Amino acid sequence: MRHPLLQKYDRLIEFFGQMLGQDYELSLFDLRAEGCPLIFIAGGMNSGRPLGTPLAAAGLSMLERFRQGDREPLVNSHSVTADGRLLRSSAVILADGDDEPEGLLSVRFDDNRYRDLVDEVLHLCHPDHFWQEIEGLEIAGLNRPSDSGQASAAPDGELTAAEAVRRMLLEANTTADALTSEERLHIISELEKHGYFRLKGAVREVTEVLHCSQASVYRYLTQLRRGDAF
C-alpha cells in the first residue's frame, strides 16, 4: 500500500521537480513517523540524502513552532550538502484537514553553476588582478582582507598560506587537481582555523596552489560560517 502522504502529494511534488529542473531538489518528510524521515525526492539536484534520512534540527524546530501557532514557512535560508555545496533552502509544513502537521516539504536550490558562469564572465571583462582583489570579494559578500600592507607570513611565523596548503597536500599524498569539493573545503577550513586568511595576499596564494578561483575560496569560507538546514 502506498504511503498516505505520497497518495496526496507525490504527483504535485514531481510536477514541480520537473518544472524547476536540474538545480532544484524537492524533499518530503513524514512528520507523523518516528524521526520524521525523508520519504520522497524529486527534481534534478542530488544533495546526497537517502530516503529514510531523519529531519534535521532546523526542521524539527520549525515543527515545534508550528505546533505553537507559527504557520509561516521558512524562505531562502541556507544549508550545506555533505560535499560542501552551499544551497538556498526553503520549507513549508503541510497540514491535514484538522490542521495537524503531517509533512514537511523542503526545496533546495544549488546556484553553483550560475556562480561559476559569473566567475567566467567577470574574468573576461576585468583584468586578473582587479578580479582577484575586488570582484571576488563582492560576489562572496565577505569583508575585504587587511589592506595594511602586512607581508604574507603565517600566524606562527613559519609557513605562508601557500606553503601550508602544499604541506597538507603532501601529507594527504594527493594533488590539487585530484581534490574533491569536500577535501578542498577541509583545507580551507584548516587555514581559516589557524588564521591564515587574516593575512594580506593569503587568498591569492591559496587559489594559485589549489588551482581554483578566488571567488570559489570565498564561497568555501561562506559555507564554513553558515549552519546546516533541512
**45-66: burial string, b at 16+ Cβ within 10 Å, e else:** bebebeeebebbebbbebbeeb
pLDDT digits (tens, 9 = 90+) for 21-65: 999 999 999 999 999 999 999 998 887 889 999 998 889 999 999
What pTM does this model have? 0.59
Q: Which of 60-69, 116-125, 206-215 has the largest mean confidence?
A: 60-69
Q: What gap in Å lies between CA 155 and CA 127, rounded to an integer?
A: 31
Strands 24-30 and 101-109, bridge-based pairing = antiparallel
pLDDT of residue 226: 63
The CATH 3.30.450.20 portion of the chain extends over 4-110
pLDDT of residue 29: 97
pLDDT of residue 203: 87
pLDDT of residue 137: 44
Which class would CATH give 4-110?
A: alpha beta
pLDDT digits (tens, 9 = 90+) for 129-161: 555 554 444 434 444 443 334 444 445 446 788
